[in-house]
Chain A
Amino acid sequence: MTAAVDLVNLTRTYPTASAPALKGVDLTVEPGQAVAVLGPSGSGKTTLLRLAAGLDAPDDGDIRLNGASVLHLPPQRRGIAMVSQRPLLFPHMSVLDNVAFGPRMAGAGRMQARNTATRYLELVELPGFGRRRTTELSGGQQQRIALARALAATPQVLLLDEPFSALDSELKSQMHQLLLELRAVLQPTIIMVTHDHHEAMLLADSVAIIIGGMLQQHGPAQSLFTHPQSLAVSRFLGGRNEISGEMRGRAFHCKLGVLRLADGTACAQGRAVMVIRQEAVRLVELTATDADTRGIITHAVAHGARTLVEVCAEGVPLQCEVPPGTPIHVGDHVGVALPVSQRQVLLDDPCPAPSRVGTPAVEHVH
């Protein structure tokens, strides 16, 4: 129930669209691995899944399972199943027959298929639901049944198209736990489209960012946050600190002074932008030795359980997150530490910089 997936140079332009939905996307997923595909709305994420499933054909490129092209195969012969945001259960069938559908199509007898379906219902923690109508189930239960139905078809690859986005936070976290347990038991290869950064980090081994139909970066989730390879990725992942300057040798010259980079960090010379996550920036005493710069607190707003603080240092707005209960007052003078290991210098990008604290945020996620 697992296979290596290679998406090679996938390109797709819809007849009525002015721009391609996907442009030369290359993505490799090892057997049993889970990749989360993140990207703004309309970036081509769902197109990618539809192409992989065989519901649409690429204009160019190839799709390989275990090294063999499946481009010529119809969806029913690819061994790829998908769970969408809507459960899409068959309303004329019982829950059990929905789950037994895949085994039946694979040639199993009615009883055999139903026995298999019963096991998968137990696996998604809905034993005894087989005789129910699909309309008698809650949204979360329907999504579990959809997951059981997809898995019962024993696909080589499981595609998840924002399957939990319609669920409330409690149900969502239950489904996350369930998916983690299923992964441990079945070890399917998973490509999951989501717009939830936290979901991607929790469930996937690696994250691929698609923006404007192009794969921007693919790697372990943590590294994407701390070391984005472009300003577009940094901004999409919610990075708020961008300091303009110039790379000269191994030093970054900007209004804050000369900031050095961690050993081994490569960057082209010339005009550049230093990015550093707001979670990494620390407020310190004015006299602290590890303060890289000093400034004045201009804004402080609650940001979930934490407080997002903006400090103006040498005319450069720097944002950082502090734990709840930290005594913060607008107008205070503070020191700011920018940990060397978290600094990343990228080529300048003409796109607008992220919004400041207290102003409406540019929403990258929909």
Chain B
Amino acid sequence: MNRRTTRAAVTATATQWLLSAWFLLPMIPVMLWAVARTWPAPLPLPSDWGFSGFLDALHDSATSAFGASLILGTLTAVLATPAGAMAAYALAYGHLRGHRSLSVLLIAPAFVPPFVIVMGLNVTLLRLHVPSLAGISLVLMVTAIPYTTFVMRSAFAGYDVTVEDEARMLGASTRAVLTRVRLPLLAPALATSAFLAFLVGWSDYIVTLLIGGGQFVTVPIRIAAAASGTGNEPVIAALSITAAAPPLLLLVTVGLLSRQRRRRRASANPVTHTPAYLTASGALR
């Protein structure tokens, strides 16, 4: 290994550590608060340790808030991912008139403050007797669509549609083309879209508060309620760590599954029968 290669390797490692520190350092106080019973200033570490923050959060309806956030995140992902994929497909291949205006319209919810969308809608939804969960999910879907559309549009830009023609000529029906070619090829982009949409639903505060009218309690709402008081630092820290867990878990799971899939493909021994070299006897006919 020459000097230049060594220097590059050291720089890469140092950059990796610095970036990790950049993301992890702000989380250290939260993690310490979560396992602190008392932490008086100006002590650098808590004076008394314990899990009272987690226990108090559990006793204080944190489980139902966690469940509500999970449902909301999942519903947003389920609704916004196919909607974004279809919008992206139409924009990529639909030869739509005014597709530029449509693109701007689809991405608008990302630029418009959520208050603007929600303030008018909450009254309308109430008058129409739309259930809170349905109303919140629909509005969050609109909020998430710019992200899912953007991701899927990038995916379609790199997607060679001629492989579908190839599949059809090899006997694949429209459904088989979808399930065996298009979806597997777009799976990474779909997973990214779903993950982003899940995050939109999981971490939302404004839409849930205004449309739900405070009756639909999710983790962010629970954290905000705890943060509005004083002396709740361990509970707030425990809830914050709990809020970060599902997205991280999802990310790690998807990563592990992808790795496992790659390994399985690489190590698979799919053929048990190895026939002799074919002669001109016409055995293939």
**A and B form one complex:** yes
Among the 9-residue stretches A113-121, A237-245, A255-263, A338-346, the one with 4 or more Cβ atoms under 8 Å from chain B is A113-121
Per the bound structure, the CA–CA distance linking A92 and B186 in Å amounts to: 10
In whole Å, how far is A292's beta carbon from the nearest beta carbon of chain B? Answer: 49
Per the bound structure, the CA–CA distance linking A84 and B266 in Å amounts to: 28
CB closest chain-B residue, reference A151: B284
Q: Are A81 and B282 in contact (CB under 8 A)?
A: no
Per the bound structure, the CA–CA distance linking A75 and B164 in Å amounts to: 11
- A residues less than 8 Å from B282 (CB atoms): 185
Per the bound structure, the CA–CA distance linking A101 and B164 in Å amounts to: 12
- The reply on A323 being an interface residue by CB < 8 A is no
Instruction: Indicate which residue in B168, B184, B274 contacts A76 across the interface (CB closer than 8 Å).
Output: B168
A101-B167 contact in complex given A76-B173, A94-B268, C-beta closer than 8 Å: yes
- The reply on A111 being an interface residue by CB < 8 A is yes
Q: Are A115 and B271 in contact (CB under 8 A)?
A: yes
Per the bound structure, the CA–CA distance linking A53 and B184 in Å amounts to: 25
Q: Are A94 and B171 in contact (CB under 8 A)?
A: no
- The reply on B60 being an interface residue by CB < 8 A is no
Residue-wise, chain A 47-88 has the 8 Å CB interface mask toward B (1 for contact) of 000000111000000000000000000111010111010101
CB closest chain-A residue, reference B265: A94
Per the bound structure, the CA–CA distance linking A81 and B172 in Å amounts to: 12
CB closest chain-B residue, reference A1: B285
- The reply on A228 being an interface residue by CB < 8 A is no
- B residues less than 8 Å from A53 (CB atoms): 165, 169
Per the bound structure, the CA–CA distance linking A327 and B50 in Å amounts to: 103
Q: Give the residues from 157 to 176 in chain B that come closer than 8 angstroms, CB to CB, to chain A.
A: 160, 162-163, 165-173, 176
Q: Are A76 and B270 in contact (CB under 8 A)?
A: no
- The reply on B283 being an interface residue by CB < 8 A is yes
Among the 9-residue stretches A122-130, A210-218, A294-302, the one with 4 or more Cβ atoms under 8 Å from chain B is A122-130
Instruction: Indicate which residue in A96, A102, A119, A186 contacts B170 across the interface (CB closer than 8 Å).
Output: A102
A102-B171 contact in complex given A94-B265, A115-B275, C-beta closer than 8 Å: yes
Interface of B, secondary structure class, is loop
Q: Are A150 and B170 in contact (CB under 8 A)?
A: yes
Q: Are A88 and B275 in contact (CB under 8 A)?
A: no
- The reply on B25 being an interface residue by CB < 8 A is no
Residue-wise, chain A 192-210 has the 8 Å CB interface mask toward B (1 for contact) of 0000000000000000000
- A residues less than 8 Å from B268 (CB atoms): 94, 131
Per the bound structure, the CA–CA distance linking A203 and B169 in Å amounts to: 23
CB closest chain-B residue, reference A115: B273
Q: Could you say which of B165, B173, B176 has the most chain A C-beta atoms within 10 Å of its C-beta?
A: B165
- The reply on A17 being an interface residue by CB < 8 A is no
Q: Are B270 and A96 in contact (CB under 8 A)?
A: yes
A130-B169 contact in complex given A92-B184, A185-B282, C-beta closer than 8 Å: no
- The reply on A184 being an interface residue by CB < 8 A is yes
Q: Are B169 and A76 in contact (CB under 8 A)?
A: yes
Q: Are A118 and B274 in contact (CB under 8 A)?
A: yes
In whole Å, how far is B26's beta carbon from the nearest beta carbon of chain A? Answer: 39
Q: Are A88 and B284 in contact (CB under 8 A)?
A: no
Q: Are B283 and A119 in contact (CB under 8 A)?
A: yes
Q: How large is the interface on A (under 10, 10 to 19, 20 to 34, 35 or more residues)?
A: 35 or more
CB closest chain-A residue, reference B275: A119
Q: Give the residues from 29 to 58 in chain A that come closer than 8 angstroms, CB to CB, to chain B.
A: 53-55
Residue-wise, chain A 319-333 has the 8 Å CB interface mask toward B (1 for contact) of 000000000000000
- The reply on B215 being an interface residue by CB < 8 A is no
Q: Are A123 and B278 in contact (CB under 8 A)?
A: yes
Instruction: Indicate which residue in A76, A114, A149, A186 contacts B271 across the interface (CB closer than 8 Å).
Output: A114
- B residues less than 8 Å from A166 (CB atoms): none
In whole Å, how far is A307's beta carbon from the nearest beta carbon of chain B? Answer: 42
- The reply on A137 being an interface residue by CB < 8 A is no
Q: Could you say which of B173, B181, B274, B283 has the most chain A C-beta atoms within 10 Å of its C-beta?
A: B274
Q: Are B285 and A186 in contact (CB under 8 A)?
A: yes
In whole Å, how far is A75's beta carbon from the nearest beta carbon of chain B? Answer: 4
CB closest chain-B residue, reference A102: B170
Instruction: Indicate which residue in B162, B265, B271, B278 contacts A185 across the interface (CB closer than 8 Å).
Output: B278
In whole Å, how far is B169's beta carbon from the nearest beta carbon of chain A? Answer: 5
A130-B285 contact in complex given A75-B169, A102-B171, A122-B277, C-beta closer than 8 Å: no
- The reply on B185 being an interface residue by CB < 8 A is yes
- A residues less than 8 Å from B181 (CB atoms): 90
A105-B166 contact in complex given A119-B275, A120-B284, A184-B280, C-beta closer than 8 Å: no
A130-B185 contact in complex given A90-B167, A153-B170, C-beta closer than 8 Å: no
Per the bound structure, the CA–CA distance linking A96 and B271 in Å amounts to: 9
- The reply on B269 being an interface residue by CB < 8 A is yes
Per the bound structure, the CA–CA distance linking A86 and B92 in Å amounts to: 22
Q: Are B270 and A92 in contact (CB under 8 A)?
A: no
In whole Å, how far is A160's beta carbon from the nearest beta carbon of chain B? Answer: 12
Q: Give the residues from 85 to 134 in chain B that come closer than 8 angstroms, CB to CB, to chain A.
A: none
Given A75-B165, A122-B275, A186-B285, 15 further pairs, Cβ under 8 A: A55-B165, A76-B173, A82-B166, A84-B162, A84-B166, A101-B172, A102-B170, A102-B171, A111-B273, A115-B273, A118-B273, A119-B284, A122-B277, A130-B271, A185-B280
29 pairs across A/B with beta carbons < 8 Å? Answer: A1-B285, A74-B168, A76-B168, A76-B173, A80-B169, A81-B169, A88-B162, A90-B166, A91-B185, A92-B187, A101-B172, A102-B170, A105-B167, A105-B171, A105-B173, A111-B273, A114-B271, A118-B275, A119-B275, A119-B284, A120-B284, A122-B275, A123-B278, A123-B284, A131-B266, A153-B170, A185-B284, A186-B284, A186-B285
